[in-house]
Amino acid sequence: MPGEFQIPLTAVISFTLVLARVSGAVTFVPIPGIKDAPPLARIVLMLSLTAVLFPVWPSVPVSQANAGAFALWLLAEAGLGATIGLAVAFLNEAFILASQVFGLQAGYGYASTVDPATQADSSVLQILTHLVAGLLFFSFGLHREVIRVFADSLQVYPPGGFALSNSAAHRILDLGADMFSTAVRLALPVVALLMMIDVSLALLGRINAQMQLLMLAFPAKMLVSMAVLAAIVALMPQLYGPAAAATLQSLRSVLTASN
């Protein structure tokens, strides 16, 4: 009888658990265009990433893989993947939030388009920052670093071994807080400059009531915001690099703290 191709049950269980971890991260990792991609393309991406991690797949004893334990392992793997994905998503959201803050003050909220990530109406500056942050994500090689973090997590945490500790949870929350602080620091100079324009025009209008400066406020604020945005976009790689390094360091600290 010719040889038959057989897949060990241990390999099937390991593949499923790694796939759950990868799927949890891909849901949140800010890959440009992933939300609009066909479901088949996303499935192929998850399967490909799982296959890439084959050398570090855990070896699961079949005797321990009962139905209840397997369900808990799947939840733990999806939770760990979501934790990694959220940490990386906070990085891009800081820049998107900054553009949303000063874009509203500059008047660009009237010019909206469809966000390719959420299919919702968003301002033009927000979409521009989303695309730039997505390009920087690949330019700095964060896609490779995320896969490396996955490989390290599989070696540190076997299936069912992940439990989010208090220190690790605080580190993830700190990344969320850093997202807001970074956004405010980026947007605050622009907002302050726009406020100075409003105050200057108001004083000129107070001095000479015949001058109709209200019509000049809107285009002046838009032009100034565009000029400042051009300077910020040029500085974004210098800001993105240290923020990405801090995010990866926090992820590695989470893996160490939860162990």
What token pair was written down for 229?
Answer: 């945005």
Q: Which amino acid is at 90?
A: F
As a whole number of angstroms, the distance between CA 86 and CA 136 comes to 17
Residue 177 burial class via C-beta count within 10 angstroms: exposed 0-12, middle 13-18, buried 19 and up: exposed
Whole-model pTM: value is: 0.69
Read off the pLDDT of residues 29-84 as tens digits, 9 standing for 90 and up.
777 666 666 778 778 888 888 888 877 777 776 666 677 777 777 787 787 778 78
Domain ranges of the chain: 9-258
DSSP run (H or E) holding 114: strand 112-114
Low-confidence ranges of the chain (pLDDT < 70): 1-8, 32-37, 61-65, 104-123, 158-165, 168, 208-214, 216, 256-259
DSSP 57: -
Q: Which residues of 68-78 are buried (b: 16+ CB within 10 A; e: fewer)?
A: eebeebbebbb
Interhelix angle 142-156/124-139, rounded to 10 degrees, is 60
CA distances (Å), origin 29, targets 2, 85, 123: 45, 5, 22
**Per-residue pLDDT, 96:** 81
- Residues 82, 27 contacting (CB under 8 angstroms): yes
